[in-house]
Amino acid sequence: MPPGVQLSSDSAIRNSTDLFKIGDGVNFTRVEADGTVVFKGDATTFNDINISGLALGTGPAAPAVIAIAGTGIRAYAFIGTGVLSDELHGSIETLHDYLEGSNIVPHVHWMPSTNDVGNVKWQLEYIWISRTGTVAGSTTIDVTVAAGGTAWTLHRTDFPTIDGTGRVIGDRFMFRLFRDPADGSDTYGFNAALMDIGVHFESDTLGSRQVTTK
């Protein structure tokens, strides 16, 4: 038997939830008696939910749609001047491979539309609510990043990590993504083109055992 492989006997299977484990006992992949595969410790993986910016709903101040680098491809552009905040709205389900209780990291993929320098301040208002919960308010987080000085260069910008304590599959993550050109920290006075918004999350199974439970 290769090192790190623990294979249960038939009698052990009948008295255990594990068929076998591969790992060091702390970090391992486990196959349970019903065939469910579970990852523990460093064996967990990371996944990503991404939603195209053009698939999101617009708010009172809708971003303009612009061409990317003179091509026929379009994207929403968050303006860097004026007093209104361009915004988009959306919702994501907490997927069934999510490691319940773990943290998540929202992020955006975007491009500056000019060679100018300055900072873009992305802001995210969100509600992460139980599938049976009641909305009691929202939280807003932000991240400020340099535009970079080269037009149409793709950036991935991470928001601060969001605590996942108590969160389970099927919970809803609702959000408003916006840019406030009147914010003193936002100094890039040009369009920031949004490709998509995503959420990185940790996975410990391939899915869920039941439709609504892990």
pLDDT digits (tens, 9 = 90+) for 48-95: 999 999 999 998 899 999 999 999 999 999 999 988 899 999 999 999
How far apart are the C-alpha atoms of 98 and 20, rounded to whole Å? 22
Superfamily (CATH H level) for 45-203: Galactose-binding domain-like (2.60.120.260)
- CATH 2.60.120.260 residue ranges of the chain are 45-203
What are 39's strand-pairing partners? 29
pLDDT mean over 9-37: 72
pLDDT in tens, 105-145: 999 999 999 999 999 999 999 999 998 899 999 999 999 99
The owner of tokens 């303009």 is: 64
167 or 214, greater pLDDT: 167
User: Residue 5, Cβ neighbours under 10 Å: how many?
Assistant: 11
Question: What pLDDT is attached to residue 6?
Answer: 46
How far apart are the C-alpha atoms of 188 and 73, rounded to whole Å? 23
pLDDT mean over 28-40: 89
Question: What pLDDT is attached to residue 7?
Answer: 44
The first and second tokens of residue 90, run together, are 């959306």
Sign of CA dihedral 182, 187, 191, 192: negative
Question: What pLDDT is attached to residue 17?
Answer: 62
pTM for the model: 0.88
Question: What pLDDT is attached to residue 18?
Answer: 66
